[in-house]
Amino acid sequence: MTIGSVPLRFRVSIDPDRCMLCGRCVENCSYDVFRKDGDEIRINSRNCVACHRCLAFCPRDAIDIAEKPTDYRSHPLWTREIREAIFNQAKTGKIILSGMGNALPYPVIFDRLVLDACQVTNPSIDPLREPMELRTYLGKKPGQISLRETPNGDVELKTNLTPNLQIETPIMVAHMSYGAISLNAQLSLAKAVSRIGTFMGTGEGGLHEALYPYQQHMIVQVASGRFGVDINYLERGAAIEIKIGQGAKPGIGGHLPGEKVCADISCTRMIPEGSDAISPAPHHDIYSIEDLKQLVRSLKEATEWKKPVFVKIAAVHNSAAIAAGIARSSADAVVIDGFRGGTGAAPRVFRDHVGIPIEAAVASVDAKLRQQRIRNEVSIIASGGIRESADVAKVIALGADAVYIGTSALVAMGCRVCGTCYRGLCAWGIATQRPDLVARLNPDEASVQVENLIHGWTLELAELMGAAGINSIESLRGNRDRLRGYMLDEGMMKVLDVMPVGA
Amino acid sequence: MCGIIGVIDRRRECMNGSKIKEALSQMNERGSGEGAGYVAYGIYPEYKEYFALHIFFDNIRENKAALDTLLEKWGTIVHDEQIKTYEQHNIRKVHTPWRYFFRPDRSLMPKSITPDEDIVTHLVMKVNAAKNGALIFSSGKNLGVFKAAGWPEDVAEFYRIQDYKGYLWMGHNRYPTNTPGWWGGAHPFNLLNWSVVHNGEITSYGTNRRYIESYGYECTMYTDTEVVAYLFDLLVRKHGLSEKMAVRALAPPFWDEIDTMPEKERELNRAIRLTYGSAMMNGPYAICVANEHSLVGFTDRIKLRPLVTGELGDRVYISSEESAIRKLEPEVGKIAMPRAGEPVIGKVYV
């Protein structure tokens, strides 16, 4: 024990004057922080992850949680996190696991971009009084259409359109697998997207029977482990998404520990109960862009060319060129997952250090596709770190067609972003498979909350567009003239192709 | 604000420019005296085979030789001369307007199906982007744009537009916000046979510009209007859409309307919106677009700018104000206000 204990991450305290010993904190904490001992509640602060479950259910507001109660000697380079990572690895000799998205304090580009509004020379449009169109079609569009005029003066369409996904708001729910999150969490999301008229992703966890009623709003994922993939699965989805990479861990595969593979998950993933589900880093049948093309076309062939096929990549340095390759592969949309994208479990070193921000990735992908005149071949779906409606508006103005939200949707269901998803003890019933914890999440209630969130963002997006004098989302897409950079450096503004404020 | 007007004689009977000057001045309330312009079709019958290039030179001695060399590299200058102007005390002649009649050498654009037009487009984009003291502001056949910074009547007198005879005229009375006093910023904007006059502001300009620039057009005029000319060139000349369908793409019906259309029509409109989403123009506008065959007027999808039309005999009139049309033709009939996004098209008979 040369290292010993490190300082507490959180100090939990209970105000004895307020506490009435009801024991709700003991029941609710899944990390064993609280223990009832006669007329007292004992606290083990070291176990606390700050998920706030106890706090949310304390009827008397008796609980307080303080972060980092003990200071290290401060040092700008040798931060607390760095030192603790070293302690951790010195003890274990292992890769450090982490949850949620990138936790380093990189500047947030979204927060240095501002939106435009109309004054005098053009009127703003009031969405309460005028039509405002947010409907979006995801998929391939023709570069031009060809029409035939009939002798009686009617115009007929000669061009055949390929299948597109129609969404009533440009906000979809990202791929979070059954395994990473609970069935109740998936059900809540599924109910919400069905009511709103948008879509959610299954993640690489197969499609549980309980979700079949919502399959018309599900995008089924084919990832490197191919878990849960068969023709039944492909045919049930409204679209298919090939996952190449993930923003939280570009370049590596996934890992669902065997302890989480219960009977139900073993069925939907189609793997033996209790076995680790390890997705390899690359797809073992994709070693080049032409292999991707074959997979895209095989999936289309298997589903009779009736479903759009998306390809998801992590935002990395060369995203633009990669996306241009994907656009030529018969794929219908490219999903770009920025380095702030969340995850159930990822090596900390990848989560914090690999990949690029979604804002820059979308800007460069859109520019490259336009430059090569293939922007119409694929839709661009942005994901990874979309926190509010303003982010949606900004990323669309940079060139995206739609967004995926993951963490935001979980927060709407109660998630406190404690980042402990990988332990499977989520007290909110979201990132866990323990039946008693899962039962805490009521899909009927949680789905209303997710629906409310997307609805609220949609209303705000409509207001932002109206203020900018735009009544259709197509006119916001790629409209970088309506963005200005505030305190962004010149190089960054060049990548984003935006002007500084005041210009 | 801005005031616009257009008239076409469908039998190609020519009108001189005196009336259009009066009509445009009628709308001086909509302007500010910092920009006005006219375009007339049919004015160069003796040179109608050639592209009539109208140029603003900053300085003849310095800038003209380079343009001559460039044009001769790409074709033949059949004739060139200074555009006659007549001094007006309200107009400061900061440019020397010049005209060339130009025949491109199509062997230099071997892969194109419209080599002449592509050469001229290329030259316009190149010269205007370079900003070397020469600006090509008119490049069609048998037509010409005349514009400057000033009130409509002064600009008209400056060029003596009453001396030109055309079967199709458009005029624009400008209230500038962006580039006051710059002659290049006055309307009409022109590319090849497309001319545009525009009242309003295009809030989707950034989207439209990115779309059109991926097809090789370059927006160099610091204004949203030029993009309209390029969009029409792309949709009609290159993609083969009718003017009516081009307007459908630029100002399409709302999804609510499309959803309730009969199936075939619904599919057609859906295809147009999916394909040309980035070409859709948003924001308040009333626009007149012309080519050698037609005059098209349309407004934005919720009609945030006025547009009035009238008809008498073979002539179709489109303007921001009825009073302007009446100045042009007191006896005009069929005064109407087109619905939002609905094109009004006056087309020559042959």
Q: Is residue A268 included in any domain, yes or no?
A: yes
Phi, psi dihedral angles at B313 (to 5 degrees): 60, -125
Contact (CB, 8 A) for A202 and A310? no
Going through A1-152 in order, the beta strands assigned E by DSSP cover 10-14, 34-37, 40-43, 63-67, 97-98, 113-115, 136-138, 147-149
Q: Is residue A150 included in any domain, yes or no?
A: no
Mean pLDDT (chain A) is: 95
A135 touches chain B (CB under 8 A): yes
Nearest CB to A131 within list B201, B256, B275: B256
Three-state secondary-structure class, residue B327: helix
> Closest approach of chain A CAs to the CA of B166, in angstroms?
30
Helices (H) and strands (E) in chain A, counts: 15, 23
Q: What is the pLDDT of residue B119?
A: 95
> Closest approach of chain A CAs to the CA of B243, in angstroms?
13
Helix, strand, coil % over all residues of chain A, rounded to 5: 35, 20, 50
Nearest CA in chain A to B300: A471
**Quick one: average pLDDT of A143-147?**
94
Are B203 and A156 inside 8 Å of each other by CB?
Answer: no
> Are A83 and A178 in a shared domain?
no
**Quick one: average pLDDT of A15-40?**
95
**Quick one: average pLDDT of A407-436?**
94
> Closest approach of chain B CAs to the CA of A455, in angstroms?
19
CB-CB neighbors (< 8 A) of B277 in chain A: 141, 474, 477
DSSP string covering B127-184:
HHHHTSSEEEEE--BSEEEEEESS-HHHHHHHHTGGG-EESEEEEEE---SSSTT-GG
Contact (CB, 8 A) for B140 and B51? yes
> Are A174 and A262 in a shared domain?
yes
CATH number of the domain enclosing A48: 3.30.70.20
| Banded pLDDT at B350 (limits 50, 70, 90) | confident
> Are A89 and A177 in a shared domain?
no
> Are A61 and A195 in a shared domain?
no
Quote the CA–CA distance of A478 and A376 in Å, as a whole number: 13
CB-CB neighbors (< 8 A) of A164 in chain B: 274
Q: Is the peptide bond before B188 cis (omega within 30 degrees of 0)?
A: yes
Are A146 and B207 inside 8 Å of each other by CB?
Answer: no
Which residue in the block uniquely carries the two structure tokens 């059949």?
Answer: B78
**Quick one: average pLDDT of A275-291?**
90
pLDDT at B1 over 80: no
Provide the 8-state DSSP code for A260.
G
| Banded pLDDT at A274 (limits 50, 70, 90) | confident
Helices (H) and strands (E) in chain B, counts: 10, 18
Bridge partners of residue B286, in order along the sequence: B199, B299
Nearest CA in chain B to A369: B214
Quote the CA–CA distance of A267 and A330 in Å, as a whole number: 32
pLDDT at A39 over 70: yes
Quote the CA–CA distance of A78 and A90 in Å, as a whole number: 16
Q: How many CB atoms lie within 10 A of CB A236?
A: 16
pLDDT at A323 over 70: yes
Q: How many CB atoms lie within 10 A of CB A241?
A: 28
Among the listed residues B2, B14, B219, B288, the single catalytic one is B2
| Banded pLDDT at B220 (limits 50, 70, 90) | confident
Q: Is residue A448 included in any domain, yes or no?
A: yes
- Taking CA atoms, A63 is separated from A53, A420, A426, B8, B160, in Å, by 11, 20, 19, 80, 86
**Quick one: average pLDDT of B108-112?**
88
**Quick one: average pLDDT of A361-384?**
96
Nearest CA in chain A to B283: A469
Three-state secondary-structure class, residue A8: coil
**Quick one: average pLDDT of B247-262?**
96
User: What are A468's two structure tokens?
Assistant: 């900018």
CATH number of the domain enclosing A215: 3.20.20.70
Q: What is the pLDDT of residue A29?
A: 97
> Are A171 and A70 in a shared domain?
no
A143 touches chain B (CB under 8 A): yes
pLDDT digits (tens, 9 = 90+) for A45-101: 999 999 999 999 999 999 999 999 999 999 999 999 999 999 999 999 999 988 888
Give catalytic status of residue B2 as yes or no. Answer: yes
Q: What is the pTM of this model?
A: 0.94
pLDDT digits (tens, 9 = 90+) for A251-267: 998 878 787 788 888 99
Quote the CA–CA distance of A453 and A437 in Å, as a whole number: 24
Are A159 and B275 inside 8 Å of each other by CB?
Answer: yes
Q: Is residue A25 included in any domain, yes or no?
A: yes
Nearest CB to A142 within list B238, B267, B275: B275
Q: What is the pLDDT of residue A215?
A: 97
**Quick one: average pLDDT of A117-142?**
93
Provide the 8-state DSSP code for B293.
S
* Type of residue at A437: L
A118 touches chain B (CB under 8 A): yes
Say how many domains are in chain A. Answer: 2
Tell me how many residue pairs between chain A and chain B have CB atoms under 8 A apart. Answer: 122
Angle, CA A130 vertex, CA A128 and CA A131 arms, to 5°: 105
Contact (CB, 8 A) for B186 and B147? yes
- CATH numeric code, B3-347: 3.60.20.10
Q: What is the pLDDT of residue A478?
A: 96
Q: What is the pLDDT of residue A224?
A: 92
For chain B, the domains span 3-347
Quote the CA–CA distance of B321 and B286 in Å, as a whole number: 11
Are B210 and A142 inside 8 Å of each other by CB?
Answer: no
**Strand-strand pairing, A379-383 and A402-405:** parallel
A472 touches chain B (CB under 8 A): yes
* Type of residue at A166: Q
Contact (CB, 8 A) for A332 and A308? yes
pLDDT digits (tens, 9 = 90+) for A182-203: 999 999 999 999 999 999 999 9
Q: What is the pLDDT of residue A260?
A: 78
Are A142 and B205 inside 8 Å of each other by CB?
Answer: no
Contacts (Cβ under 8 Å, ≥6 apart) of B242: A147, A149, A155, B236
Q: What is the pLDDT of residue A71?
A: 93
> Closest approach of chain A CAs to the CA of B286, in angstroms?
12
| Banded pLDDT at A1 (limits 50, 70, 90) | low
Domain boundary among A94, A117, A140: A94
Domain boundary among A94, A121, A136: A94
The fraction of chain B above a pLDDT of 90, given in percent, is 85
pLDDT digits (tens, 9 = 90+) for A236-245: 999 999 999 9
Q: Is residue A267 included in any domain, yes or no?
A: yes
Domain encompassing residue A263: 165-500
**Quick one: average pLDDT of A146-163?**
90
Domain boundary among A73, A94, A115: A94
Q: Is residue A134 included in any domain, yes or no?
A: no
Q: What is the pLDDT of residue A348?
A: 93
Q: Could you tell me which residues of chain B have a Cβ less than 8 Å from any Cβ in chain A? A: 177, 200-201, 203-207, 209-211, 213-215, 238-242, 245, 254-256, 264, 267-268, 270-278, 280-284, 301-302, 304
Prediction ipTM score? 0.90
CB-CB neighbors (< 8 A) of B213 in chain A: 370
Quote the CA–CA distance of A247 and A284 in Å, as a whole number: 20
pLDDT at B81 over 90: yes
> Are A329 and A417 in a shared domain?
yes
DSSP string covering A139-191:
S---SS--EEE-TTS-EEE-SPPPP-EEESSSEEE----BTTB-HHHHHHHHH
**Quick one: average pLDDT of A151-160?**
89
pLDDT at B223 over 70: yes
> Are A81 and A229 in a shared domain?
no
| Banded pLDDT at B180 (limits 50, 70, 90) | confident
> Closest approach of chain B CAs to the CA of A379, in angstroms?
11
Lowest mean per-residue pLDDT among A378-392, B70-84, B174-188: B174-188
pLDDT digits (tens, 9 = 90+) for A440-481: 999 999 999 999 999 999 999 999 999 999 999 999 999 999
| Banded pLDDT at B177 (limits 50, 70, 90) | confident
pLDDT digits (tens, 9 = 90+) for B257-296: 999 999 999 999 999 999 999 999 999 999 999 999 999 9
> Closest approach of chain B CAs to the CA of A472, in angstroms?
8
Q: What is the pLDDT of residue A453?
A: 98
**Quick one: average pLDDT of A283-298?**
93
Contact (CB, 8 A) for A396 and A389? no
